Amino acid sequence: MSTQQAALSPARTTLALATLFTGMFVLGSAELLVVGVLNLIAADLGVSIPTAGTLVTAYALGLAIGGPALAALTIKLDKRLVLAGSLALFILGNLVAVLTADYTLFLVARVGAGAVQGLFIAAAFAVGVSVVPPERRGRAISVVVSGIAVSAALGVPLGTLVGQTLGWRGSFAAIVVLSGLALVATLALLPSVPPTGGGAGSQARYAFAPRVLAVLFLNFLVFASLYAALTYLVPFLERVTGISGPLVSVFLLAYGVATAVGSFGGGRFADRGAARTLVVASTGATLSLATLYFVGSTAFLVALVLLAWGVFSFGMVPSLQYRVLDLAGPGGALAQSLPASAANIGIAFGSFAGGVAIGGFSASAAVLTGLAVGVLTIVAAWATSYLKPPVPQEVP
């Protein structure tokens, strides 16, 4: 699949990729922001904390289901226009959060914001790979992915700090302002990227081919393994490692920085061999979880393991996207939104499975659950490494 445009100057390419990174950073921060101010939202809107927690689920479902649906509906539009429209709708959705006192309306707005983020992600990948030579496609994908990783490492803690200082509405107001700046940059700095390929109907044959679905299943397993353990990492650090208070935040920040490093660096490995990278990185992530279980009572070793886990886990994300685009061939424009959907479904499943495990057993049970799923990711990564893109004769 290729959406290669006329070559841009190095400076224009850098600005375009920086703009995509910024957009992903802002949207990623907004996605996870609710977690840090959940108690404030619940108190202000008069709902319980578990009820307020459905705002996270609603956003994930909006992204997983609405993202691909919107991508299909806009598949024949210029991707620069799609990015700008997504940001405009995202601003509107977050304005609702700032202004409403009705929880139900807030919930609906979160579903809509999740859907337009899914659309933005698909269009961002399309623009990113269009402004670089084919041999640098993995690195362009890694820049887009890194916006999400950096938002988890830096954007969410900063947004939480703003929310604790100015109220949760203040943090969402900050998202509105930053989204507006990203919209201006999108219109000013991104090139026009006309649609490629046919309509959604003709592309669906390739986008949902068994070879693509196999890698999407691998994507699901990767994030299920990751979030089965990550969702309950704080209880593990407190009960098993024996750390608490501000020191927990230091460990989480170290992990977050490692994910950013992994996502940035993973693009180079995707360009050199995405299938091989998935086998190596899934093995590394799974071994990290095994090591975490056995050295969990030693804080220094836990810190080192979290660094390795973050690098391996997010180092394979560019390769997951790369493989889907490659295996989808002529259906790449439609397939671009599917990895994010698979990832969000994996996150939901992993968090649920880890919760069941930790509820019935010890604080280490969630890590073991992630490890068990991780073994499956190694098998799936090895099996999918033999899959090949559609041969030229398949292309209409």
The pLDDT tens digits along the chain (396 residues) read: 444 555 577 888 899 999 999 999 999 888 878 877 877 888 899 888 778 878 877 888 899 899 899 988 998 899 999 999 999 999 999 999 899 989 999 999 999 999 999 999 989 998 998 888 888 889 899 998 888 888 877 776 777 778 778 888 988 999 999 999 999 999 999 998 887 766 777 788 888 999 999 999 999 999 999 988 987 888 888 889 998 877 887 888 888 889 989 998 998 999 999 999 999 999 999 999 999 999 999 999 999 999 999 999 999 999 999 999 999 988 888 888 899 889 988 988 888 888 888 876 777 899 999 999 999 999 999 999 999 988 755 444
Query: So what's the pLDDT on residue 368?
Result: 95
Per-residue CA distances from 17 to 23, 135, 137, 297, 390 (Å): 10, 16, 12, 42, 28
Query: So what's the pLDDT on residue 7?
Result: 59
Query: So what's the pLDDT on residue 34?
Result: 81
DSSP state at residue 192: P
Half-sphere exposure of 375 (CA within 13 A, CB side): 6
Of 226, 213, 216, 217, whose CA–CA distance to 372 is shortest? 226
Torsion of CA 270, 276, 281, 282, to 10 degrees: 130
Query: So what's the pLDDT on residue 110?
Result: 92
Q: How is residue 246 written in tokens?
A: 């501000």
DSSP state at residue 387: -
Output the pTM of the full model.
Answer: 0.84
Q: Which helix (H) or strand (E) holds 316?
A: none
Per-residue CA distances from 283 to 62, 171, 255, 316, 323 (Å): 31, 38, 18, 11, 18
Contact between 243 and 237 under an 8 Å Cβ cutoff? The reply is yes
Q: How is residue 234 written in tokens?
A: 């704080």
pLDDT one-digit tens code per residue, 325-339:
999 988 888 888 899
Query: So what's the pLDDT on residue 2?
Result: 45
Please enumerate in sequence order all residues whose Cβ is within 8 A of that of 282, keeping only pairs 6 or more positions apart, or say none: 218, 222, 312, 316, 374, 377, 378, 380, 381
Of 94, 100, 127, whose CA–CA distance to 113 is shortest? 94
Of 282, 231, 223, 189, whose CA–CA distance to 63 is shortest? 223
Q: Which helix (H) or strand (E) holds 95?
A: helix 79-99
Contact between 25 and 185 under an 8 Å Cβ cutoff? The reply is no
Rounded to an integer, what distance in angstroms lies between the CA atom of residue 90 and that of residue 118? 11
Domain 1-196 in this protein, CATH class: mainly alpha
Angle subtended at Cα 251 by Cα 297 and Cα 304, rounded to the nearest 5 degrees:
65
Of 98, 129, 168, whose CA–CA distance to 17 is shortest? 129
Contact between 226 and 315 under an 8 Å Cβ cutoff? The reply is no
The residue whose two tokens read 């990948």 is 125
Residue range 202-387, CATH number: 1.20.1250.20
Q: Which long-range contacts (CB under 8 A, 24 or more apart) does 88-95 make?
A: 88/183, 89/116, 90/27, 90/30, 90/116, 90/117, 90/120, 90/179, 91/176, 91/179, 91/180, 91/183, 94/30, 94/172, 94/175, 94/176, 94/179, 95/176
Rounded to an integer, what distance in angstroms lies between the CA atom of residue 246 and that of residue 234? 12
Residue 54: exposure state from Cβ atoms within 10 A (0-12, 13-18, ≥19):
middle
Query: So what's the pLDDT on residue 151?
Result: 85
Angle subtended at Cα 59 by Cα 53 and Cα 64, rounded to the nearest 5 degrees:
130
Query: So what's the pLDDT on residue 173?
Result: 93
Rounded to an integer, what distance in angstroms lies between the CA atom of residue 114 and that of residue 109? 9
Q: Where are the domains of the chain?
A: 1-196, 202-387
Of 22, 395, 336, 330, whose CA–CA distance to 180 is shortest? 22
Domains 1-196 and 202-387 share a fold: yes
